[in-house]
Amino acid sequence: MTPDVNQTIREIAINNPATVRIFETLGIDYCCGGKRPIAEACARANVPLETLMTALAELGPESVSPEEKAWTAAPFRDLIGHIISRHHGYVRQEGPRLEALLDKVVNRHGTDHPELLSIRDVFLALNQELTAHMFKEEHVLFPFLQQMEAASRSGEPMPAACFDSVGTPIARMLADHDDAGELLAKIRALSGDFQAPAGACRSYLGLYHGLQEFERDLHMHVHLENNILFPRALEMDQMLRQESAYVTH
């Protein structure tokens, strides 16, 4: 692809979902910090602009895998279904597994590597926050977005809501994502970019690999919500507002 230096990271990621692999590899924030222009995002990640531009230029159009399809036009039902089954499901599966693995590795190596205890504390906090966060999405925001989309398609009035605007719960979700991003960054820093010490056992290596994969998945998860689903929902909310008044209770 031909990179445009004036674009934001978010715009590039939306236009070509395969680019997120490059951002991930280079440590460039494409989810919570996706609104930054390319040069600023590179500077924050300590990546030469030229390195990113070259990597993007080498990316062919065929590099998008079916799983990385663009979600910019898919019905909310499909995008939300994908987020829940793929990413919420991943957190629910990997969260407890990594907690158990952390206990095991802390018990064996915590004395020599006290940073493991801090990593466990931060991961437990992250997993707890994500569990509550996903509950809110699945039981409040996502059902509302699907009702809103149905109303938009049928020309019906806006569905009843316990908030003035969909921007209110979305703002809360964005704040949660920022908090999760900070916890992920702490884990990365505490683990020295997931570099296990020389001679580390298989459990230790598996733990760091699992934590890195957890980070990667959460980045994609947040990207789909922050950069695609939520902006589309806000746009639809505005459009429907012009056509009908909210029914609040």
- One-letter amino acid identity for 171? A
Of residues 94 and 225, the one with the C-beta less far from Fe ion:
225
Residue showing the smallest CB distance to Fe ion in the complex: 225
Q: Which two tokens stand for residue 176?
A: 């949660």
Q: What span, in angstroms and rounded, lies between the C-alpha atoms of 147 and 158?
A: 8
Interaction site with Fe ion (CB under 5 A): 137, 225
Of residues 86 and 113, the one with the C-beta less far from Fe ion:
86
Of residues 36 and 177, the one with the C-beta less far from Fe ion:
177
Residue 226 CB, nearest approach to Fe ion (Å):
8
Residue 69 CB, nearest approach to Fe ion (Å):
18
H or E segment to which residue 31 belongs: none
Return the closest-CA partner of residue 224 out of 109, 68, 91, 64.
68
Residue 233 CB, nearest approach to Fe ion (Å):
12
Residue 87 CB, nearest approach to Fe ion (Å):
6
Residue 128 CB, nearest approach to Fe ion (Å):
15
- Check if the beta carbon of residue 110 is closer than 8 Å to that of residue 117: yes
- Check if the beta carbon of residue 24 is closer than 8 Å to that of residue 68: no
Of residues 52 and 80, the one with the C-beta less far from Fe ion:
80
Of residues 40 and 213, the one with the C-beta less far from Fe ion:
213
Of residues 42 and 173, the one with the C-beta less far from Fe ion:
173
- Check if the beta carbon of residue 228 is closer than 8 Å to that of residue 79: yes
Residue 126 CB, nearest approach to Fe ion (Å):
13
The DSSP secondary structure of 81-140, one letter per residue, reads: HHIIIIIIHHHHHHHHHHHHHHHHHHHHHTTT-THHHHHHHHHHHHHHHHHHHHHHIIII
Rounded (10°) angle between helices 115-136 and 167-190? 160
